[in-house]
């Protein structure tokens, strides 16, 4: 930013009025936005126009004694950084998710106590646990302000990923803590969990975000959870030997999502 030269400030401050009307406007317009030049102006004022300087000093004194000095904006006057991350849209879904995890944990404990021999329910639900809240991050029916969000400049994959991260930041630690009670290693479910989450987001542009999550959960329930419960053995897809396949799935889903990212610029439901 260029600043006002001192001669211009002196001419402006001079009581004889050394500036043309147009130039005065330019100086004033600049002074309004530039505190450096206001300081420079007050520095030359004593010299150029002692009467004006005295008058301003007097007004300043009067105001200082007459006004309640406490600034009107002493309350929190910053837009908190954390609020860009937290959105109440996902809160109800997150509450339900945490409840489901706790229920699964309780059933696992019961299973161990009675020695029934079912596979860990916690392990079975962990890979799809974030999906309900992920759907709520970008869905007309689940986010009450979706119409506003979808018409805003921030709408897009960035925002969806930001909200998804919030969901994962809640769900993954809850799963990990629950797993500590039953001795379930996060290594078994973390990668599948990420892959299915990104997979649901990648399916979003095709099916709509809510239906995409529902489809993944449904498929998971039919193809993995039911057989595992019927056969009473842990699902083979979650076997550590299959981790490379999950890495590939995560990469593929990420690639599809990157290609289809423009779909998230318009309202959900597409």
Partner 1 sequence: MVRAVDPAETTPTPFAWAVHAEGLVVKAGKRVAVDHLDLRLGDGIHGLLGPNGAGKTTLVRALATVLKPVEGSLEVLGHDLTDHTDLRPLRRTIGYLPQEFGFYRRFTLREFVEYIAWLKEVPASEIPAAAQRAIDRVGLADRADHRMKTLSGGMVRRAGIAQAIINDPRVLLLDEPTAGLDPDQRLDFRALLRTLAADTCVLVSTHLVEDVAAACSDVILLDEGRLVFSGTPADLAEAGGTESSEAGGDSATERGYSSIMRAHREMG
Q: How far is the CB of 131 from partner 1 (least distance, A)?
A: 22
Q: How far is the CB of 269 from partner 1 (least distance, A)?
A: 9
Beta carbon nearer to partner 1, 146 or 205:
146
Q: How far is the CB of 213 from partner 1 (least distance, A)?
A: 20
Give CA–CA dist 201/264, Å, rounded. 10
Q: How far is the CB of 22 from partner 1 (least distance, A)?
A: 10
Beta carbon nearer to partner 1, 89 or 168:
89
Binding residues for partner 1, rule: CB under 8 A, are: 25, 28-30, 32-33, 73, 77-79, 83-84, 87-89, 91, 143-155, 159, 262, 265-267
Beta carbon nearer to partner 1, 16 or 77:
77
Terminal Cα distance for the chain, rounded? 45
Q: How far is the CB of 210 from partner 1 (least distance, A)?
A: 15
> In terms of C-beta density within 10 A (0-12 exposed, 13-18 middle, 19 or more buried), how is residue 204 classed?
buried
Beta carbon nearer to partner 1, 15 or 144:
144
Q: How far is the CB of 172 from partner 1 (least distance, A)?
A: 24
Beta carbon nearer to partner 1, 14 or 24:
24
Contacts within 8 Å (CB) and 24+ apart, 217-224: 217/128, 217/131, 217/132, 220/127, 220/128, 220/196, 224/124
Beta carbon nearer to partner 1, 147 or 239:
147
């Amino acid at each position: 930013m260029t600043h006002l030269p001192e001669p211009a400030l002196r001419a402006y401050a001079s009581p004889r009025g050394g500036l043309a009307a147009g130039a005065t406007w330019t100086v004033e317009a600049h002074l309004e936005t530039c505190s450096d030049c206001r300081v420079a102006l007050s520095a030359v004022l004593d010299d150029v126009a002692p009467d004006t300087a005295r008058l301003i000093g007097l007004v300043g004194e009067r105001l200082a004694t007459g006004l309640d000095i406490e600034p009107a904006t002493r309350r929190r006057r910053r837009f908190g950084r954390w609020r860009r991350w937290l959105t109440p849209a996902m809160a109800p879904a997150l509450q339900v998710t945490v409840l489901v995890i706790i229920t699964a944990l309780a059933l696992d404990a019961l299973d161990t106590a009675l020695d029934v021999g079912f596979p860990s329910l916690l392990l079975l639900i962990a890979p799809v646990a974030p999906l309900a809240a992920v759907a709520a991050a970008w869905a007309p029916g689940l986010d009450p302000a979706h119409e506003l969000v979808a018409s805003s400049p921030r709408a897009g994959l960035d925002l969806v990923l930001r909200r998804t991260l919030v969901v994962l930041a809640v769900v993954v630690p809850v799963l990990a803590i629950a797993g500590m009670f039953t001795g379930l290693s996060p290594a078994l479910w973390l990668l599948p969990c990420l892959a299915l989450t990104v997979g649901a987001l990648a399916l979003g542009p095709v099916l709509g975000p809510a239906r995409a999550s529902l489809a993944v959960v449904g498929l998971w329930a039919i193809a993995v959870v039911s057989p595992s419960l019927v056969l009473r053995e842990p699902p083979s897809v979650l076997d550590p030997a299959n981790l490379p396949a999950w890495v590939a799935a995560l990469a593929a889903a990420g690639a599809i999502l990157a290609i289809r990212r423009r779909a998230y610029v318009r309202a959900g439901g597409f």
